[in-house]
Amino acid sequence: MNFGLALLLNLAFASTLFASEWDHARLQLEQPQTITVYRDANCQCCHKWIEHLEIHQFEVIDIISNDMSKIKEKLGVSNMMASCHTAVVNDYVIEGHVPADDIKQLLLDKPAHIKGLSVPQMPVGTPGMEMGLRKDHFIVFSFDDDTQYQLFNAYQTNAENNYLPLNHAE
């Protein structure tokens, strides 16, 4: 086998090893959706979350902000639901590292009582927060205009250390 082919095969194998489990889509939308993401210029996990959205066919408008707290306040994100970046898609607010399939489920269901979805704080293992083998269990909350929140989806790992959604089954 020549050196070039061996290198290409090794790179292909390595890319499958390091691909994110979040790259596989459970849900498909009829057409790509535009999502506006507000983030701090220095945040690397926000960049990774944007890449996750693009893999899932979202068209991202990336807006850098020096005052994320003002944006969160304007969009009605409470401190309890806050994370690092905030997004808007079809009048829904998306806060933090929400998996693309949960955003798609929200867009497919179109619930009138929900203002948005949030993964509060920055749990390790969520889309954009992948850090090796560590994966925290996490909850995707829905919230309304009265800052009431409830479970939208929850993720925990199985024996193979892969995430399993607990609410919206495949």
The pLDDT value recorded for residue 32 is 84
Query: For 108-131, how does the pLDDT look when each residue is reduced to its tens digit (9 = 90+)?
Result: 999 999 999 999 999 999 999 999
Give the pTM.
0.82
Q: Report residue 103 as tokens.
A: 């955003």
- CATH class of the region 33-165: alpha beta
73-99 pLDDT per residue, tens: 999 999 999 999 999 999 999 999 999
Q: Give 147 or 72, the one with higher predicted confidence.
A: 72
Q: Rounded to an integer, what distance in angstroms lies between the CA atom of residue 158 and that of residue 156? A: 7
Interior/surface letters 110-122, b for 16+ CB within 10 angstroms, e for the rest? eeeebbbbbbbeb
